[in-house]
Chain A
């Protein structure tokens, strides 16, 4: 079945540590996205990529980094520069132009310990 796989489901980060969240899709979608959701709030865009080897900052890119070396994969690194990383992270993909909306992965819940 086609879909988006995010891993891990839960992740714990120590202060000063970098962590990487995985996102893989087999939908043959061109575009991929990372969103952050805080309790009781909407989704805020971190980074997005429309084609391989190219990506753009979203509204809250500071403290995060991404790569897009393969069409299927769009990993997100939460760096130590992100001072408040505890949140629910959602990866999504779409065809070019988002005409039919996004397909979301199941999410990664990141907690700072």
Chain B
């Protein structure tokens, strides 16, 4: 079982709609959760982090965390063509590996006009 799993996509969403990206993780002791956006040929850029169960909103982005289900998601409201990218879910997997982050393989999102 992979430590961080994401659907590779591509996920195609019409412009203006809500894009929903999902991620599951295997280490129940995981402490910190991150979403990175990566445009083709570029390096990843941190867009959200969340530590506690529930929702965290920042502009058009909402991160949702459910530790009981070991599930984290990212919602993008009013999707724009500029949101087309690969989204990497990442997890700090707990005290035994407190100094590093494990990445999922990414979900490719395409916003169609």
Residues of A within 8 A of B (CB): 31, 33, 35, 40-43, 45, 48, 50, 58, 90, 96-107
Contacts and interface: CB of A to CB of B under 8 A. Distances in A.
Given A42-B104, A104-B43, A104-B45, A48 B34 contact: no
Pick from A33, A35, A50, A101 the residue with the most CB of B within 10 Å.
Answer: A101
B43 A98 contact: no
The main secondary structure of chain A at its interface with chain B is loop
Given A103-B46, A104-B45, A41 B90 contact: no
Given A106-B42, A106-B43, A107-B43, A101 B100 contact: no
A90 B105 CA distance: 15
Interface string B96-112: 00111101111000000
A107 to B, nearest CB: 5
B32 A48 contact: no
B49 interface: yes
Contacts of A101: 32, 34, 36, 46, 49, 90, 101
Interface in B12-48: 32, 34, 36, 42-46
